[in-house]
Amino acid sequence: MTSQAQFDPQAFIELALSRGVLKFGEFTLKSGRVSPYFFNAGLLNDGEALSLLAQGYADKLTQCNNVEVIFGPAYKGIPFVAATAVALSQVHGQSVPWGFNRKEAKDHGEGGVLVGASVAGKKVWIIDDVITAGTAIREVVTILQQAGAEIAGVLVALDRQEKGQGELSAIQEVQKELNIPVHALINMKDLMHYLDAKGENEALAKMEAYRVQYGI
């Protein structure tokens, strides 16, 4: 899939900051790590914010290959994939089939756990916000493969580029285990470039210290 669009990480960061989706400061994560930044996709809870994210995904997908179907894992991925399909059509003039899964299989109507476009024999891109442990992505990949899909790749909003339990990040573990590309709209290096360009030296120093301790 090709288009003139070039995704701009710095512009996306500006928009994410303006929406409060991205914040710099001091945040204690579930892991116990104290992070110098926080990305909260839960704040993408109105039309403007969702459109911002979807346009980012759509721009990025135009730079990817084998985009035959896009897929959103239940439940959070469902609005993401639907809005991305709209953005691909309205902004890029590309009509891409989309689908999602249910958490529980239906035994009436069309039945099953998959809803929307057929994935059988198709190259499918999975769209989600972040990969934390990779458990959810692995489950969705299994469901799609059982339905006859070929996984083309995964697209997430943020790659924290930090170690998980071992030496690899969660995204690297998924790439290695499943042998698929995982792309992110923005990553930690993009955040550091942004801070550097803005002359935010104190915040940049905290990011650098965090990267040295936990980075990959």
Higher per-residue pLDDT: 48 or 118: 118
Q: 177 Cβ partners below 8 Å, 6+ apart? A: 134, 138
Give the three-class secondary structure for 185: strand
Percent of the chain with pLDDT over 70: 94
pLDDT given at position 216: 87
C-alpha–C-alpha distance, residues 199 and 60, integer Å: 28
Domain positions in the chain are 9-214
pLDDT given at position 91: 94
Going by pLDDT thresholds of 50, 70 and 90, the confidence category of residue 3 is very low
pTM of the model: 0.85
Neighbours of 20 (CB within 10 A): 12
Q: 37 Cβ partners below 8 Å, 6+ apart? A: 22, 23, 24, 25, 27, 191, 207
Higher per-residue pLDDT: 107 or 127: 127
Going by pLDDT thresholds of 50, 70 and 90, the confidence category of residue 5 is low
Neighbours of 41 (CB within 10 A): 18
What average pLDDT does range 126-154 have in this prediction?
Answer: 91
Reference 96, options 67, 132, 138; nearest CA is 67
Radius of gyration of the chain measured on its C-alpha atoms: 18
Percent of the chain with pLDDT over 90: 64
Going by pLDDT thresholds of 50, 70 and 90, the confidence category of residue 109 is low
What average pLDDT does range 156-181 have in this prediction?
Answer: 90
Residues 116-150 as b or e (16 or more Cβ within 10 Å = b): bbebeebebbbbbbebeebebbeebbebbeebebb
Tens of pLDDT, residue by residue over 33-92, are 899 999 988 788 888 888 888 999 999 999 998 999 999 999 889 999 999 999 999 999
pLDDT given at position 108: 58
pLDDT given at position 110: 58
Per the annotation, the verdict on 206 as an active-site residue is no
Assign a CATH topology to domain 9-214: Rossmann fold (3.40.50)
Question: Catalytic one among 103, 106, 122, 123?
Answer: 106
Reference 191, options 202, 206, 207, 171; nearest CA is 207
Per the annotation, the verdict on 106 as an active-site residue is yes
Question: Catalytic one among 30, 60, 76, 108?
Answer: 108
pLDDT given at position 151: 96
Q: Containing H/E element for 151?
A: strand 150-159
Least confident of 161-175, 178-192, 195-209: 161-175
Reference 68, options 3, 118, 114; nearest CA is 118
